[in-house]
Structure 1
Amino acid sequence: MIELSERALDSLPPHVRVPRFDRRSLRAGIVHIGVGNFHRVHQALVIDDCLEERGNEGWAICGVGIVPGEAGRAKAATYRKQDYLYTVTEFAADGSARVRVVGAMINYLHAPGDPEAVLLRMSSPDTRIVSLTITEGGYDRDKVLAEHDPNGVPRTAFDFIVEALERRRNAGFPPFTVMSCDNLRSNGDTTRAIVLALARATNPGLADWIEREGAFPNSMVDRIAPRVSADDRRMVNGFSGIEDAVPAICEVYTNWVMEDRFCNGRPPFKRFGVTMRDDVALFESIKGRLSNAAHMMLCYPAVLLGYRLINEAMGDHRLVKLLRDFWRIDAIPLVTPPAGVSPHDFTEQVIERFANKGINDQVLRVAHDGASKIMVFHSKTISQLIAGGGALDREAFMLACFARYLFGRDGRGQSFPVDEPQLSEEDWTLARSRDPLAVLRLHPFRDLHLAESGAFRQAFARFSQAIAEKGVSRVLDELVA
């Protein structure tokens, strides 16, 4: 096994693709906050390809981690030891794989350990884009504003963005484009609203400048990037012949659609696979309401049935039927697809992607932060079904399964970890109370007013009682019959 480093690139096995550019000539034009698996197999690969073209040397990435504590420091140390290189192994549905070393990231800063270094990098005129993958829950505007301390050290990604933009304004530099790459409807508009609210709370003049000069393009991003377990790491490292402490795994499929709205230049994205269009909202809708929503529809009954891998759950014909019924009856009639996109073909591709055995995508990875994800990917469908008198069975069944999932035990009596960072202590007390409608009253779901909808309340109560009496398996049988 060859330890991954800059000096080892010339000695790697021939089946491994290595960076085809001189990393010593690169400059960090992009600061990316939240270097998780998704960024590393999505945006970073586009930039890696871009850097192979002469003239793009100024678009390398400086990663920024905002996770505090030992875990955040260890991640920074690992990247530094590997010269900020890592491997990506892409698995096709037929089981074939290809591996590459990604060299687009040339530095990595740990914000809690050295916030000033992050601010200096973001306020440098070399930085022209600040991008984000901080997960859906990181865009809670009320929480961001509540955590902000104008006289303290920046804590959230938005604290760093606003402080860096203020320094740039004071120095006479133009703003950078803020580019959200998270699974969020209107992610650019949402980011813009939070940044402006935070800036206006401390400096109205700064907010006016950002509003006038800045840019926040909306984008749709799509690729499955599971967590990498210790077994996964040994497997992909064995395949590559490289000792990589932080390898990434993904499917072959990838998609990125983005508005061409930048204020300080951008890489030639279109030449490297990014679709630049004005109708991003339509792509967001079909992806979020058909693909991401199907992930949520699948994962909660799946975990209660004892499945731990998405591809194993897709071997249960009842769960596949549940998804097909959700699409055909509930979601597709409410979605307007972009020109040239067939919802039927799209959902058939989703079936194939979810069934990919190569990536071992974890059910609990998908279930994580469900209170936020359900609102992002199901709220519009639920609201439209209620308003239009549509069938509520599948949405009510999903939420009844989510309610059982919160107890962390499946139908076989096996326990599993529950990770719901958006639920407060008050929410947890309510969720575990004797109130049969408790989940409908949780704070993250407050805007849906589900407990006040007679039709939804009745459907949810019916499924909750049936699951308690018969178990998820029998209820699923009846639902898809």
Structure 2
Amino acid sequence: MTRLCAATLASLPATVRRPAYDRASLRPGIVHLGLGAFARGHLAEYTEDALEKRFGAWGIVGASLQRPDQRDRLKPQDGLYTLLKLAPAGPELRVIGSVLDVLVAPEGPSALVARIASPDTRIVSLTVTEKGYCHDPATGRLRADHPDILHDLENPEAPRSAVGILVAGLRLRRAEGRGPFTVLCCDNLPSNGHVLRGLVRDFAALMDDKLAAWIEAEGAFPATMVDRIVPATTEADIAEVAKLTGLDDAAPVIGEPFRQWAIEDTFVEGRPDWHDVGAQMVSEVAPFEFMKLRMLNGAHSSLAYLGYLAGHETVSEASGDPVFARFLAGLWDEIIPTVPAPQGVVLADYARDLLVRFQNPAIRHRTWQIAMDGSQKLPQRLLGTIRERLRAGGGIDHLALGVAAWMRYVTGIDEKGGAIEVRDPLAAELKRRAEAAGRDAAALSASLLGIGAIFGTDLPGEERFTKPVAAHLAALFDKGAKATAASLG
């Protein structure tokens, strides 16, 4: 089958939307670190819309920080790929043209730093996942002892961490007498812009106090809240896109129709007209971010662990199960009192909309995918809510079950005795503790609660938390995820 590329665009069916601007004239203005499916289904589509509305030098150069896979898929396609939006009423297809090139950091770190430092680059955006920031999730501070940070301090011309790459680009801009670019974090980190500013400043200070002061005074790190369900692309998805378009696309992106992007409007060298294509440019992102982190991400993680244990492969299957739909309703009842409503938002309506999105049968968002990196996600998605509920004297039964389900999941053995591939930066430590405790729920919960990087020093000593977690974990071992969730009513 013929490959999607610039030369074959004209052969697409009329039902497939394609770039409505002169792509040959497009010049790069954004470098994006971590060009995965989410960035291509969110940032790149918003940018595509902005280019169609008002053309400018806002093409995207992606950067893969670890492997060449994405470059190898997109390069033969001239950076083009298909966005397949799956709605219950039927699919919508669109070819995205805003991505112009993909660099591979390990193959040429100096080339990536040069592109970032280029006068053409006005925004450097990131989706590198929580673990990509080399920080302590419990404190939000840079881990100066992280192997990648140690490497970058010793090899400043060939950095491999996202933070090291940003500082290398900023250092070169300053040395050449130019101002900084805007750093736009699009990952699910609380106060992501503020946190990233601190990480960049702290890393820079380990090299040069004057550079750190310049970044602090001149740099822009707007916070953002991003939202769109973008499942990992499967071979079946690739085959379906080929069937619908008549062209072979090695890098399609699958997503839901819904999207949301709230951005603090603080940019040092301009930005695309994202505000004209649905992005919310706000003075403070925190209320939107906080709502999404606790209500969507907290529910997603809890449902992923319980759903996976119960044998549900996808979020739509798990949330469509009446037992887990009731669990989600109870979970949101515990979460909502801790969430100040953003302007114009009714939180009960937001929760209902989330359930509709979760239950969209066209979206195959795998529970295993969401379950990845739980040690990094739990502190932001569930534990902050739990602390607040405890301070207010509120119940945490559903929240505690979410934590217990994570503990049961990281044992690496599912309810049928099969192996779970636990993907987590602390996977080896989690495995060691799980094997030592076996199926002793009290021993396992106590051991895992002792990981300070996840639970801090307060929660392990709080019986209102530790007792329900241990009780739920025992029930998960004894009765399974579905029966345990059902017992909450």
Deviation >4 Å, runs of 4+:
none
Given candidates 285, 290, 300, the residue that maps to 1:280 is 285
User: Is the partner of 1:99 in helix, strand or coil?
Assistant: strand
CA distance in 2, matches of 1:168, 1:341: 41
CA distance in 2, matches of 1:207, 1:77: 36
Given candidates 80, 103, 106, the residue that maps to 2:97 is 103
User: Is the partner of 2:102 in helix, strand or coil?
Assistant: strand
User: Is the partner of 2:357 in helix, strand or coil?
Assistant: helix
Task: Give, in angstroms, the shift of residue 446 of structure 1.
Answer: 3.3
Q: Residue type of the partner of 1:61?
A: I
Given candidates 371, 375, 382, the residue that maps to 1:371 is 375
Between stretches 210-219 and 145-154, larger displacement belongs to 145-154
CA distance in 1, matches of 2:303, 2:451: 21
The answer for unaligned runs of 5 or more in structure 2 is 136-141, 438-442
Contact 2:401–2:469 (CA<8 Å) still a contact in 1? yes
Matches within 5 A, 1:157-176: 157-176=162-181
Task: Give, in angstroms, the shift of residue 11 of structure 1.
Answer: 1.6
Task: Give, in angstroms, the shift of residue 432 of structure 1.
Answer: 2.9
Given candidates 444, 447, 453, the residue that maps to 2:453 is 444
Is residue 2:110 matched to residue 1:116? yes
CA deviations 1:389-433 (Å, max 9, x no partner) are 221211221121111111233223343321112x16444322332
Between stretches 233-242 and 98-107, larger displacement belongs to 233-242
Contact 1:38–1:225 (CA<8 Å) still a contact in 2? yes
RMSD: 1.5
User: Is the partner of 1:17 in helix, strand or coil?
Assistant: coil
Q: Which residue of 2 aligns with 1:21?
A: 21
Q: Which residue of 2 aligns with 1:306?
A: 311
- The alpha-carbon distance between structure 1 residues 388 and 433, as it changes in their structure 2 partners (threshold 3 A), is farther
Normalising by the residue count of structure 2, what TM-score does the alignment of the two structures yield?
A: 0.93
Given candidates 376, 380, 385, the residue that maps to 2:384 is 380
Q: Which residue of 1 aligns with 2:73?
A: 78
Q: Which residue of 1 aligns with 2:197?
A: 192
Matches within 5 A, 1:5-404: 5-56=5-56, 58-67=57-66, 72-92=67-87, 94-141=88-135, 142-143=142-143, 146=146, 147-148=148-149, 149-152=152-155, 153-328=158-333, 330-404=334-408
CA deviations 1:255-306 (Å, max 9, x no partner) are 0001000111111221121101113100011111111111012111111111
- The alpha-carbon distance between structure 1 residues 241 and 429, as it changes in their structure 2 partners (threshold 3 A), is same
CA distance in 1, matches of 2:417, 2:153: 48
- The alpha-carbon distance between structure 1 residues 144 and 37, as it changes in their structure 2 partners (threshold 3 A), is farther
Task: Give, in angstroms, the shift of residue 236 of structure 1.
Answer: 2.4
User: Is the partner of 2:344 in helix, strand or coil?
Assistant: coil
User: Is the partner of 2:291 in helix, strand or coil?
Assistant: helix
User: Is the partner of 1:311 in helix, strand or coil?
Assistant: helix
Q: Which residue of 2 aligns with 1:474?
A: 483
Contact 1:34–1:134 (CA<8 Å) still a contact in 2? yes
Task: Give, in angstroms, the shift of residue 237 of structure 1.
Answer: 2.2
Contact 1:307–1:363 (CA<8 Å) still a contact in 2? yes
User: Is the partner of 2:320 in helix, strand or coil?
Assistant: coil
Q: Residue type of the partner of 2:133?
A: Y
Task: Give, in angstroms, the shift of residue 52 of structure 1.
Answer: 1.8
CA deviations 1:364-400 (Å, max 9, x no partner) are 1111111111111112211112222221211221121
Task: Give, in angstroms, the shift of residue 90 of structure 1.
Answer: 0.4
CA distance in 1, matches of 2:429, 2:41: 37
Between stretches 374-383 and 349-358, larger displacement belongs to 374-383
Contact 2:70–2:102 (CA<8 Å) still a contact in 1? no
- The alpha-carbon distance between structure 1 residues 75 and 371, as it changes in their structure 2 partners (threshold 3 A), is same
Between stretches 389-398 and 244-253, larger displacement belongs to 389-398
CA deviations 1:4-32 (Å, max 9, x no partner) are 01111112111111111122211111000
Contact 1:144–1:158 (CA<8 Å) still a contact in 2? no
CA distance in 2, matches of 1:317, 1:432: 33
Q: Residue type of the partner of 2:214?
A: W
CA distance in 2, matches of 1:55, 1:36: 24
The answer for unaligned runs of 5 or more in structure 1 is none
Q: Residue type of the partner of 1:196?
A: R
User: Is the partner of 2:106 in helix, strand or coil?
Assistant: coil
CA deviations 1:214-243 (Å, max 9, x no partner) are 100011000000001111211222122221
Task: Give, in angstroms, the shift of residue 145 of structure 1.
Answer: 5.7
CA distance in 2, matches of 1:164, 1:474: 53
CA distance in 2, matches of 1:114, 1:477: 53
Normalising by the residue count of structure 1, what TM-score does the alignment of the two structures yield?
A: 0.95
CA distance in 1, matches of 2:244, 2:447: 48
